Every structure is written in structure tokens, then in C-alpha cells.
Chains A and B, each alone.
Chain A
Amino acid sequence: MHHGLAFLGWAGRYLWSGWAGAAGLFCIAAAWQAGHELYGSFILPAPLETAREVVRLAQDEAFRHAARQTAERAGLGFALSVLIGTAAGIAAGYSFAAMRLMRPVVTVILGVPPIAWIVLALIWFGAGGGTAVMTVVVASLPISFAGGLEGVATRDRGLDAMARSFRAGPLMRLRTVTAPHMVSYLFPAWTTTAGSAWKVTVMAELLSNAGGLGGDLASARALFDIARVTAIVLVVVGFALFSEYALLQPVRDRLEQWREAGRPWGVKR
């Protein structure tokens, strides 16, 4: 009962804090509207026009299928890169030698532009969903890897020694001492990964002609259907906002409630 109420209070506060975020988004919409009034519908359709186009597209079965396809690819790419990257990063963080070896590797992989991976994946896998997924995984795996690695490497050795003094096993120490500390390293990495997963998926789809929203974008461009192009962009941005603020942020907020407790009065939200 007590916990239920506390959860409701937290959920209410989280939803309410959405107004501030919405205000920021409406500022962008206002700037967009100004651009539209300056250059006209052919260059930049108005926000309202675009929103209507999104509603129209949402009723189109083919478009819904394309959006689902993109969501599946981005989701799969995100899940794979986060799982593999974080697990490998944690393992490397415990080994000094692995850390030294892997840091430059991370820089090299991050330094290769995603577009190059797309071209390579097209040659390796051909035009299909696999190209998009593989590009997302390769392009964003190092971010999670670096997050996991830094999180483990910067763990508090004093707390670790405390846990060892109570004969806590390695798994318990990972769960109770290292993991809560890693959250503040992993979540920035994961949100970056989520954001780039959408972008890279659409890009890969567009270039490999593999359907999805990217394929839709390619045909809209060929037809000079500007309203459709902006509508697709809006849908992709909507997906990115959803994955960050509806899926990742609430989890982080729940996990880091103890940080809230340490803040002085008046700084809480």
C-alpha cells in the first residue's frame, strides 16, 4: 500500500515534468512555423500540415508496415548492441590489460563513419534488413562498451573491500556495489545508442532500398512529396522521443532515486 502510493507519486511527478519538455518542443515547432512562413510550403511545410500528413499516413496500411519494420530493426539493433557492448565492457573493465587493449579499438570503430559500415554491409549481406541491423550494432556497440568499461573501472574500491569483508561473492558485489554505480555511465551510453539506432536504421534502409521508413523516404524524395518527407522525419523523431522518455528515462529515474535524496532542498526538480 505504502509502496504503491510512493510509486504513484513518483509516476505523477515524472509525467508532470513532461510539461517542461513539451514547452521546449513547442519552441522548436514555433521556429519551424517561422521558417515555413518565410519560405513557403514547397520548401518547408508547416508543422500543422505535417501533423495532418502523419495522421493520414497512420491510416495507410503500407506505411504502418514500413514503420513497424523500421522499429523492429532499430529495436533489434539497439538490443544487440546494448547487450553485447555492455557485457563485453563489464568484462573488460575488470581486466587492466583488456582495458588498455580495447580503448584504442573503441576509438577506431567509432571513427569509421556509419555510412562506410552501410556500404560494407551491403556488400556482405546484400540489400535487406540485416544491413540496417548490422550497421546499428557496429556503429553503436562501442558506446555501450565504453560505458560499461568506464563504469566498472571507476567503481569504488573501498565499497568493494567492504563487501568483500562480509564475504560477498563476485556476483553479489557486481549487483550491489558495481551495477548501481554503473547506471550513471550506462544510461547516457544507452540513450545515445537509442537515438542513433533510429537514425542509422533509416539511413541504412534508404541506401540499401530495404523498405521501412528509409525506403518510404527514398520514394517520397523521388516524387518530391515534401509533406511526406517531413511527416516521415516527424515519425522517426517521435519514435526516438518515445524510446528515450517513455522507455529509458523512467527506468533510470527509478534506479537513481537515491541521488534525489542527497540533493538539498529546493534543487529537487
Chain B
Amino acid sequence: MAVNTAYAGRSYAPTEPYAVGREHVREFALAVGASHPAHHDVEAARALGHPDVVAPPTFLVVVAQRAEAQLIQDAEAGIDFSRVVHADERFTHHRPVHAGDELVTVLHVDSITERAGIAMVTTRCEISDAGGMPVASVVSTLAVRGEGA
């Protein structure tokens, strides 16, 4: 089944809040080899002016991925995950993410283009905090190979 290009331009309702946990920040930092003390030690983070441990720059993939599931797991969208390759990813932070943040995400499908049997699906997650202040944008492009590609 081909990717449904009619999904381009679609936006979704805000997600339920995602609670950023201190242990999860530490675990994610360990998994990517981020050993800076501000990821692990609350006092080291506070010494740099942060309220709690700082999430690594790519941590928000965890949050974005949950929001993107609204599109990916929608059978009508026609995205066969076994034929997906991650093409690009970009995080733009308006402020750092810390343990204790409650994050709400609005998913946008910015574009779906097809070329030579490959569909490029670009999504954008606009992530804000409990007070509605913008925290970050996460833009991700997936390449979905068609049956013949």
C-alpha cells in the first residue's frame, strides 16, 4: 500500500502531557554516552543554572516518537514501518529540557512527496511545557520505499 499523500498538511490535537523523569534522563544519557555531569548530577546541573538534570540534545526523540505514532500507526496513512528508513532529524530548542518538565506535543505532517518510488514524509513536533511556553521543535523525515523500490 502506498503512502497516503492526503495526510500532508494534517495537524493533530495536543498529546497528553509527557513527564520527563530524572532517572530516564540519566538512562538516556548513558545510552548515548553523554557523560557530562549536568545530565547525571542535580548539583552539577544547578551550578550551571538549571533547575534539575538536563536532557541530552536528542532526548526529545522519545517525546516526538510518541506523537509521531499517531501518524505511523494509522493504517490509513499507509506507512509500512518495515520499509522505512530515517532520512533526517533536527532538534531546535527554545530552552533546555529538564527532569520535572511536563511536555505537550502537537504533531504536524509538513509534507509528503513521492519520487522514484520513495515517499518522503516530513513531520514536525511542536513541544511546549505545562504553561504553554514553547520548548522545542523536532523535524523528522522518513523515507518509505514503495513495493518496487
User: Do A and B interact with each other, yes or no?
Assistant: no
Q: Which residue numbers of A lie inside 8 Å of B, CB to CB?
A: none
